[in-house]
Structure 1
Amino acid sequence: MVAGDLLRELEGRGVRLAVDGGRLVARGRSGAVTPELAEQIKLQKNALLRELQASTGGQVARLPEPLVRLVRAASGHSLNRPGVLPSGMVPDLGGYVLTCAALYACGFDPERQLAHLWAARGAWNSQSQVCN
């Protein structure tokens, strides 16, 4: 698996690799990185660092596909209802998602915005399961 493919695989699992002070840092849900993927990350650390530094050029990475679907649902007014997040209740989940996505796109504390978006996705999934 080449570095670009590994990055896409990790993004699909909700894991984002970033460069922090020259170090490779993985952020995502607990258990999303299998032992096999962890081994691939170790083996390809230098290639991953080069790929990340070259691809971002100081810009934030594209949102992982599950979060893109969440933002699309919010922009289509499918999330205009209260949402229960780990940090508390929001009166308009759709507005919250769009705000976090906009802040992420502007580069304002992108790691924090990603965490907020994953939490909102969890709230959206739990609401969808209750409704079905």
Structure 2
Amino acid sequence: MLALELLRELEGRGVRLAIDGGQLIARAPQGAITPELAAQLKEQKAALMAALQGGGSAPPCLPDALVRLIRAAVGNHLSFPAALPGGLVPNLGDYVLSSAALYAAGVEPERQLQALWAARGAWAA
């Protein structure tokens, strides 16, 4: 389970996480944290703390070059096929927007950054 998914699960159970003195603190109704969730909390502690310190689910800011790429996709200026290292994509704009959305949601952010850089390379070519 990803840290953001775990945060949503905990919020749904009424669990509130905070950082106090560099420690992750959980305030929860009795029985809300199952042994499985407690194990996930321990396993994901660093990622949870990073998410909480970063204002929740906000990913790090993207470099200007990638912001311009995403704006071009939003403006429908990338609606053409492109050859990327992983293969041919039928619509570069859709690919960029999908990768940007996954990055914003915290789904494999490093992989999404690589995808965006590859798309930028195809756009610049």
TM-score (norm 2): 0.55
Q: Which residue of 2 is the match for residue 115 of structure 1?
A: 114
1:97 is aligned to 2:88:
no
- Per the TM alignment, residue 62 of structure 1 is displaced from its structure 2 partner at its CA by 1.1
Which runs of 5 or more structure 2 residues have no equivalent in the other structure?
1-49
Higher relative contact order (Cα pairs below 8 Å, separated by 6+ residues): 2
Deviation sequence 1:14-37 (CA, Å, 0-9, x none): xxxxxxxxxxxxxxxxxxxxxxxx
RMSD: 1.6
Q: Which residue of 1 is the match for residue 66 of structure 2?
A: 67
Q: Any runs of at least 4 consecutive aligned residues in structure 1 with deviations exceeding 3 A, and if so which? A: none
Q: Distance in 2 between matches of 1:89 and 1:71?
A: 19
TM-score (norm 1): 0.52
Q: Which residue of 1 is the match for residue 77 of structure 2?
A: 78
Which runs of 5 or more structure 1 residues have no equivalent in the other structure?
1-52, 127-132
Identity across matched positions, percent: 58
When Rg is computed on C-alpha atoms for both structures, the one with the higher figure is 2
2:62 is paired with a residue whose SS is: coil
- Kindly tell me the number of residue pairs found equivalent between the two proteins: 74
Q: Distance in 1 between matches of 2:78 and 2:53?
A: 32
